[in-house]
């Protein structure tokens, strides 16, 4: 089950087709959908999570907490909507496109992909691009 929550921010509409697309990513990665919660929030809310749980003192667009068991993908994925908006502007992208990239990014983390090294980041971007192309 994929659920969407909003903390300290106005709700945005997430279409059923987006949920189906996210589940398709999971299936394509040979995994099963468990309990996945997207928590949309503002920059300050996510900064506090970054400080409290990861001891990082900087803004980010996404933090993923992994509760995966075997092939069943579960987790809490916190997403800063203002950060996505800023990133979209910076990279001359539409908000919706950047939102989908970040949503896929969280799922890919739960599927086991990392982005700490240059090589891992390259693979993550390749996977994001592949799945974003499926939306078109």
Nearest of 40, 34, 10 to residue 103 by alpha carbon: 40
DSSP state of 111: T
115 is in an annotated binding site: yes
Strand partners, 107: none
Helices (H) and strands (E) in the chain, counts: 5, 4
d(CA 71, CA 118): 26
CB-based contact 71:36 (threshold 8 Å): no
109 is in an annotated binding site: yes
61 is in an annotated binding site: no
**Binding annotation for Zn(2+):** 105, 109, 115
**Binding annotation:** 105, 109, 115
């Amino acid at each position: 089950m994929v659920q969407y929550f909003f903390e300290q921010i106005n709700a945005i509409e997430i279409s059923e087709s987006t949920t189906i697309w996210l589940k398709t990513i999971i299936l394509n990665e040979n995994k099963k959908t468990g309990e996945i919660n997207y928590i949309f929030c503002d920059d300050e809310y996510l900064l506090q999570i970054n400080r409290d749980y990861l001891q990082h003192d900087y803004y980010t667009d996404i933090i993923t907490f992994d509760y995966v068991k075997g092939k069943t993908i579960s987790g809490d994925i916190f997403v800063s909507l203002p950060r996505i908006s800023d990133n979209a502007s910076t990279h001359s992208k539409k908000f919706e496109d950047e939102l989908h990239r970040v949503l896929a990014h969280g799922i890919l983390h739960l599927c086991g992909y990392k982005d700490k090294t240059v090589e891992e980041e390259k693979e993550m971007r390749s996977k994001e691009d592949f799945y974003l192309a499926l939306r078109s």
